[in-house]
Amino acid sequence: MHAIHLKALFETMAKNGDTSALPPGADWESLGAQALAEGVAFLKELAGDDMDGWTWGRVHSTRHRHYLSQSFPDLGELLDPPSVPMGGDGDTPHAASYASTDPFTVTTSSSARYVFDTVDWDNSRWVTPLGASGHPGSPHYTDQMPVWADTKLVPMLYAWDRITAEAESRQELRKR
């Protein structure tokens, strides 16, 4: 939160030509040029010389951790979903954030996205990064991760006949 306030303060100071927060002899233009040069050098080291390949998703990726993987580190590969490249931040459909100390690792993200069509419910869509199953052994445990990372959606069906026709499997719960 403090970084947001500092950013706003520095923007105001730069617009007004106020250099009181800068080192002696520095001005906003030279400081901006220096920051740009250092940023370009950093990106060349990180992502190579081809600027067309400098995409946020190339260096910014998820690292979801299952709640139990810390307690059962031997099962981490089964419990922890695979990392996926990801664009965006907290102000995008990804709603992802990262720590300033580790800006290339997503630390929080949306748990699901929904679009409801109230005129045609079967035209509704959704996606969840960790899939529709909470069971790590299920093929649906993380199957929506690539769809979610691409900010796409999957059908959310409501009509029973369509659900039955398109069902991949069926379970029946019976009272004993």
pLDDT of residue 52: 92
Q: What pTM did the predictor assign?
A: 0.69
pLDDT of residue 27: 93
Residue 61: both structure tokens together: 């990726």
Tens digits of pLDDT across the chain (176 residues): 577 888 899 999 999 999 999 999 999 999 999 999 999 999 999 889 999 988 887 888 888 888 888 999 999 888 888 888 887 777 777 777 888 888 888 888 888 899 999 999 999 999 988 778 888 888 888 889 889 888 899 999 999 999 999 988 888 889 98
pLDDT of residue 1: 55
Rounded to whole angstroms, the Cα distance separating 108 from 131 reads: 16
pLDDT of residue 150: 86
113 sits in which H/E element: strand 113-115
Q: Is 105 in a helix, a strand, or coil?
A: strand
Strand ranges across the sheet with 61-62 = 61-62, 102-108, 97-99
